[in-house]
Structure 1
Amino acid sequence: MKILVAHPGTQHSFQLAKELEERGLLLRFYTCLAISDKSITGRLITKFLGGSSLRNRIIRSVPQKKIKCFLRLEWNTQKLLRKGADSESVLFERNRMFQELIPDHELMKADIVVGFDTSGWVLAERCKKLNKKFILDVSIAHSLAKQEVYKSIANRYPQWKSTIHYKSPEYIAYEQLEMETATCIMAASSFTKQTLIVNNIAQEKILINPYGVNSLDFKPIPKKRKQGDSIRFVFVGLVDARKGVPLLLESWNLLSLPGATLTLIGPVEEQVKHEILTQYPKVELVGKLSSAELRGVLPTYDVLVFPSFFEGFGLVVLEAMACGLAVITTTATCAVDLMEHFKDGIILEDYSVAGLAGSMRVLAEDQALLETISGNAIVKAEKFNWKAYGDRWESTLKKIHEKPGN
């Protein structure tokens, strides 16, 4: 059985290609830019350009001969984005051209083709014509569901409207097409699956495979907390309304915890940055960190607060658990697939200020509970490593390969 994986960007496609290669299943990995860690170029970048953005394009364990890149396409795309062109239309065009550039003879060699959401509608149709099975990996919940969430957020937090970006109905239609055409869909969370079902995607074609975490990258550090020590809360992600930041800030204002701190880590628009610094001067705003920087600082905090209104998974939840943080998050993330409420995390079923503030207060005032959840979170995260993710993929691929038809 040979699998062709196609993704114009990165996300978790590099990890999937690695896991398939280690199992002898990878035929080819098509992308715009990827550099094998086994190549001379990859070794030089790793050794001398560790802080470069190229570091994120290094793929482990996959030989360069199995990687096919469309460098000119990536170059032209980045050039347009640097000039200020509309990112949605530029990326749509990149994704369309990427799918068309993969030759038929490569698709014919594959037993199964794996594509990714927003870059799979052409591939799905081509595979159907070639009588090839096509799996669509869906990294975020359905866009129509997101539009409804955005409307609700805009009404609740009008001052945060600048961070809400509605998707064109034309592009959503292409996403619907790729989901309907795919042989099956791999979602990362139950939340994502439910939004697809609500939007008329057949339930029986949707599978769930939660992402993984590398315990060598994200790991706890020794903490000698004493009763009464101040607690350190952290949020990690895009600092915008969809991620629940205005809800978090409202809840923080409601709390009065002596010595407690709240840090926001992630990209932030200038308007939002000004709003936070003005209205919430005691909140630390760090900005975007590199992956290496995040791995270094995340374990130093006590609690991750991630009150997102809408996700596909929310990988930082799992990364924080692996680092020994207690996590407070919502049902719109991977929470129900990873956690047991008040055992290895806290899951919010509503989006009330009082509910979030109450959960933060409980962990701040009950050190025993904080330590219990922290310890349980580490144990749970160990079960969701990338090898287990790859094992689940392998099992699914074998079943789909053996099933008649496409």
Structure 2
Amino acid sequence: MFHPGMQHSRQTALALQQLGRLAFLATGVFDHETSVWRRAGAYAPAALRRHIDAEFGRFATPGLDASLVRAFPQYELPERILSRIGLDAMAQLFDRFANDRFGKVVARLAQDEGTRALWGYDNSSLTAFNDPRNASATKILDRTIADWREWNEQVATIEDTHGDWLHPSLRRAPDWLIQRGEAEFEAADYILCVSDYVSGTIKRHSSAERIEDKIRHLPYCFDSRIYGSLPSPMPPEADKPVRFLFAGQLSARKGIQHVLEAVSALPPELASLTCVGPNLVPNALLSGFSDRVRFLGAVPRAEMPAIMIQHDVLVLPSYFEGSAIVLLEAMAAGLAVIATPQAGLGPTAKSGICIERPDSEFLAAAMIDIAKDKEKLLGMRRSAQIEAQCYDSAAYRSNIEALLDSIIA
């Protein structure tokens, strides 16, 4: 199994390890008790040590056997640094180079280990899949995002209404990225999709042979260690506003513009809003909402459960996702959910509201509907926590086992 550095890939590796089916995980950065980051942090001043722990703790997966992990930070850290300092074009260029180099390393490791299957992720699998050393291995492509041609259509919609909210890194997907995705579809034996939305965009846009026959569905999971034992929702206070939460990248792609416009249309005594996540919109746009919204910025993953249980409803009117894991985490924390179909797996009619498309008026109407009926809100929150059990780590592990039994002889 291989991916340069995604939380979901490490959770999948842990599930495979628990099933006794993980040969190795090749990744970029991996944090564990004896990692170089931890050893360096032990000698750092307290403030710097906390920063190191927060930064690299995002790459930790307790329980994942470090002896099965092959970490290659040289293929991941430079891209993250370039992106962090605003050099997005250089970060993309490095990503293309690093993914090809990383794929060659994976192909060699797979040959040495004698693996029967390669489980890779979008934009980093092509080189390993096409390497002749692994010709007999089953190639499984875990597609974590919808087809980029779908995003290009959505960008046009955002440009028409909120073009000034679009960060330069979120413009149209380049041709090379689309072509690489299409080549990965061709090279894969199976394509894993987390939701009907993702598989639907691939079927609509791809011309790869046997594309529909290759697609399998595998829902994501939340981390049961963190979200599996949170308290049940309590009845809301009658004289307090409903507490809405947006969690994720503050970007036009995730619909932050609609969230802010929607809450501005609601009276303060009815609704409050907290936004958590890194900001990808101009500060001048956010400042116009500072009297109604609490902006917390990016916070460590370990702090999110405590933030979630202080809120009632998660809102995510996204234009384009794979499936946002934050939806499942919020449901496990006992939050009702308002989301779009593009946001991914999320609420049923019992646990939230799925609005037709990203739109400020649609979102405001859904928020008002929930905020004005607190008995209904409590029922949704309790249902969300029950429904989330279908997406815990144990369910994910069982789904992986059934999938592998069906596709690998």
Q: Name the CA shift for 1:141/1:347 in 2 (closer, same or farther; >3 Å).
A: same
Q: Name the CA shift for 1:75/1:277 in 2 (closer, same or farther; >3 Å).
A: closer
Specify the SS of the correspondent of 2:343.
Answer: coil
Identify the match of residue 405 of structure 2 among 380, 398, 401: 398
Q: CA deviation at 1:77?
A: 4.4
Q: Which amino acid aligns with 1:52?
A: A
**2:336 touches 2:347 (CA, 8 Å); kept in 1?**
no
- Residue 268 in 1 paired to residue 279 in 2? yes
The CA distance in 2 between the partners of 1:45 and 1:209, in whole Å, is: 38
Q: Which amino acid aligns with 1:290?
A: P
Q: Which amino acid aligns with 1:324?
A: G
Q: Name the CA shift for 1:75/1:244 in 2 (closer, same or farther; >3 Å).
A: closer
Q: CA deviation at 1:127?
A: 6.2
User: Which range is displaced more, 107-116 or 67-76?
Assistant: 67-76
Identify the match of residue 198 of structure 2 among 178, 186, 192: 192
- Residue 380 in 1 paired to residue 381 in 2? no
1:145-197 deviation per Cα after TM superposition (whole angstroms, max 9, x unaligned): 11111111111112213353222211221111001210001111111110010
Identify the match of residue 94 of structure 1 among 98, 103, 106: 98
1:66-123 deviation per Cα after TM superposition (whole angstroms, max 9, x unaligned): 1112244345545655673622111121111100122436236111110000101112
The CA distance in 1 between the partners of 2:370 and 2:109, in whole Å, is: 57
TM-score scaled by structure 2? 0.88
- Residue 346 in 1 paired to residue 339 in 2? no
Alignment match, 2:302: 292
Alignment match, 1:28: 24
Q: Name the CA shift for 1:88/1:76 in 2 (closer, same or farther; >3 Å).
A: closer
Specify the SS of the correspondent of 1:324.
Answer: coil
- Residue 60 in 1 paired to residue 56 in 2? no
1:295-342 deviation per Cα after TM superposition (whole angstroms, max 9, x unaligned): 22111001111111111001111111111111100111224xx4322x
Query: Is there any run of 5+ residues in structure 1 with no aligned partner, and where?
Result: none
Alignment match, 2:111: 107
1:238-253 equivalences under 5 Å are 238-253=249-264
The CA distance in 1 between the partners of 2:264 and 2:35, in whole Å, is: 52
Identify the match of residue 210 of structure 1 among 210, 215, 219: 219
**1:221 touches 1:300 (CA, 8 Å); kept in 2?**
no
Q: Name the CA shift for 1:309/1:82 in 2 (closer, same or farther; >3 Å).
A: closer
Aligned CA-pair RMSD: 2.5
Q: Which amino acid aligns with 2:277?
A: G
1:227-277 deviation per Cα after TM superposition (whole angstroms, max 9, x unaligned): 3332111111111111111112222222225252111111114x5222121
**2:235 touches 2:378 (CA, 8 Å); kept in 1?**
no
Q: Which amino acid aligns with 1:162?
A: H
Q: Which amino acid aligns with 1:267?
A: P
Query: Is there any run of 5+ residues in structure 2 with no aligned partner, and where?
Result: none
The CA distance in 2 between the partners of 1:276 and 1:105, in whole Å, is: 47
- Taking only the aligned residue pairs, the percentage that are identical comes to 26
The CA distance in 1 between the partners of 2:160 and 2:205, in whole Å, is: 23
1:42-88 deviation per Cα after TM superposition (whole angstroms, max 9, x unaligned): 98799996633221222332333211122443455456556736221
Q: Name the CA shift for 1:143/1:215 in 2 (closer, same or farther; >3 Å).
A: same
Q: Name the CA shift for 1:79/1:298 in 2 (closer, same or farther; >3 Å).
A: closer
Query: How many equivalent residue pairs?
Result: 393
- Residue 160 in 1 paired to residue 169 in 2? no
**2:255 touches 2:317 (CA, 8 Å); kept in 1?**
yes
Identify the match of residue 173 of structure 1 among 168, 176, 179: 179
Alignment match, 1:322: 332
User: Which range is displaced more, 192-201 or 368-377?
Assistant: 192-201
Identify the match of residue 310 of structure 1 among 320, 327, 330: 320
Q: Which amino acid aligns with 1:340?
A: T
**2:54 touches 2:300 (CA, 8 Å); kept in 1?**
no
Identify the match of residue 145 of structure 1 among 150, 166, 173: 150
Q: Name the CA shift for 1:276/1:35 in 2 (closer, same or farther; >3 Å).
A: closer
1:350-393 deviation per Cα after TM superposition (whole angstroms, max 9, x unaligned): 33433211110111110110010000000000121022112111
The CA distance in 1 between the partners of 2:182 and 2:391, in whole Å, is: 29
